[in-house]
């Protein structure tokens, strides 16, 4: 079987079984089955919950080169009709992690076919979407003496054509902070608002004032985003809501801006609390979603290689407000993340996200060549 059909077969099998973070049981079992086919005396495997670490020992190592892939899906009902549509109702690989895993398996197979000079670590990481699995594994000591000297990873880019690779030195993706706010006042009859304390009005004011943080407290050259994607309050038309809940996100390209935005949001919450005589519970959780900062040395080497490949259309990336928990690992280990073009008519996290499978063989081929070159440095 040639590499193309094999990669497509693996991707489609993974696409059928998406699971959310730290519950990737079937996914992990499938990956281990594929990894077992590659076993050699210089390959060792460790498990951490649903995560998997594969260590390829070099014959004359001077460093350990790491490759990270995420393995979780999203709680999204798939609307793409195909022979490999998700079998897990209400869950989908809408962020391309099935592509990420397939490419990682292809790379592992290529780079371990003959014992490499240096050590390689392949990290199949759970919970990128919801619990910062990379941070959890690092903090729990899962890497041990396998922690790499440099780390690499990719993310599929639906807007880029197959054959395109894009990255930049410095900040590629934003750091994120999860925001949950509960406002509690007094419910009452719609006809007697003076006897109640309306939390819809209070929450609306809070959302509007929060939008002034980016426009008036943050340097416009640096920028940031506050988005409240969920607002729940009230039960019916003639009852004043005594409680409201907001759920949102803060995104910024530097940790300093993220911390400033959190500080200003706390101050606004305190002001709303006094103005509307209500109680507000504010939760800010950054978890492990730090900005993805690409190391200048590893990234320049990566860019120079890609610019000289006839099969690659290299494009310098702009910083994006996309969140990625690989930022935590890159805060501990120097490395590079990049975009891989997959030419989907619909974007990431869309129920009709449908990447072009031709990107699988392209990614495996080009990246195998890159890592073989740096293995021989």
Reported pTM: 0.94
Instruction: Out of 70, 198, 243, 324, pick the active-site residue.
Output: 70
Chosen domain end from 236, 266, 285: 285
- 333/267 same-domain check: no
Q: Is 310 exposed, middle or buried (0-12, 13-18, 19+ CB in 10 A)?
A: exposed
Write down the pLDDT at residue 3.
Answer: 63
Axis crossing angle, helix 3-15 with helix 25-36, rounded to the nearest 10: 160
| Distance between CA atoms of residues 79 and 229, nearest Å | 22
Report the CATH number at residue 278.
3.30.70.360
- 77/190 same-domain check: no
- 262/308 same-domain check: no
Instruction: Out of 98, 109, 128, 129, pick the active-site residue.
Output: 129
Decide the pairing of beta strands 243-252 and 292-294: unpaired
- 39/161 same-domain check: yes
- 105/222 same-domain check: no
Active-site residue flag, 70:
yes
Residue 300 belongs to a domain? yes
- 28/143 same-domain check: yes
* Residues of the chain falling short of pLDDT 70: 1-3
Write down the pLDDT at residue 377.
Answer: 84
- 181/118 same-domain check: no
Write down the pLDDT at residue 1.
Answer: 37
Residue 192 belongs to a domain? yes
- 227/79 same-domain check: no
- 47/155 same-domain check: yes
Residue 337 belongs to a domain? yes
Instruction: Give the total number of structural domains in the chain.
Output: 2
Q: What are phi and psi of 254, to 5 degrees?
A: -135, 155
Q: What are phi and psi of 45, to 5 degrees?
A: -125, 135
Report the CATH number at residue 55.
3.40.630.10
pLDDT tens profile 243-256: 999 999 999 999 99
Residue 314 belongs to a domain? yes
Residue 290 belongs to a domain? no
- 199/114 same-domain check: no
- 246/351 same-domain check: no
Chosen domain end from 250, 265, 285: 285
Residue 76 belongs to a domain? yes
- 245/205 same-domain check: yes
Domain range enclosing 194: 174-285
Active-site residue flag, 149:
no
Nearest to 128 by CA among 176, 166, 79, 66: 176
Write down the pLDDT at residue 223.
Answer: 86
Chosen domain end from 266, 285, 304: 285
């Amino acid at each position: 079987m040639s590499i193309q059909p094999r990669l497509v077969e693996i991707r489609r099998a993974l696409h059928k079984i998406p699971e959310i973070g730290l519950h990737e049981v079937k996914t992990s079992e499938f990956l281990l089955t594929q990894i077992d086919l590659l076993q050699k005396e210089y390959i060792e495997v460790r498990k951490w919950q649903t995560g998997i670490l594969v260590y390829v020992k070099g014959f004359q190592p001077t460093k350990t080169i790491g490759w990270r892939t995420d393995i979780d899906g999203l709680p999204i009902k798939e609307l793409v009709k195909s022979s490999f549509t998700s079998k897990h109702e209400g869950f989908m690989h809408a962020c391309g992690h099935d592509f990420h895993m397939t490419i990682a398996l292809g790379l592992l197979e290529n780079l371990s076919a003959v014992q490499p000079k240096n050590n390689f670590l392949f990290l199949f990481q759970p919970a990128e979407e919801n619990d910062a699995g990379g941070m959890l594994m690092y903090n729990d000591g899962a890497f041990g003496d396998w922690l790499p000297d440099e780390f690499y990873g990719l993310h599929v880019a639906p807007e880029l054509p197959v054959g395109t690779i894009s990255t930049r030195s410095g900040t590629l993706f934003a750091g994120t902070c999860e925001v949950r706010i509960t406002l509690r006042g007094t419910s009452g009859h719609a006809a007697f608002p003076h006897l109640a304390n309306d939390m819809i009005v209070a929450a609306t004011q809070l959302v509007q004032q929060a939008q002034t943080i980016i426009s008036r407290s943050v340097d416009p050259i640096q920028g940031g985003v506050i988005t409240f994607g969920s607002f729940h309050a009230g039960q019916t038309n003639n009852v004043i809501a005594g409680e409201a809940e907001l759920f949102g996100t803060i995104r910024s390209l530097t940790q300093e801006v993220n911390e400033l935005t959190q500080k200003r949001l706390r101050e606004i919450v305190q002001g709303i609390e006094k103005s509307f005589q209500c109680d507000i519970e504010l939760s800010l959780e950054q978890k492990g979603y730090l900005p993805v900062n690409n190391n200048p040395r590893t990234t320049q080497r990566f860019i120079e290689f890609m610019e000289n490949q006839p099969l690659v259309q290299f494009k310098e990336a702009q910083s994006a407000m996309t969140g990625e928990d690989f930022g935590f690992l890159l805060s501990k280990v120097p490395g590079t993340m990049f975009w891989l073009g997959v030419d989907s008519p619909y974007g990431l996290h869309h129920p009709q996200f449908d990447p072009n499978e031709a990107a699988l063989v392209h990614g495996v081929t080009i990246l195998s060549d890159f890592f073989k070159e740096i293995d021989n440095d």
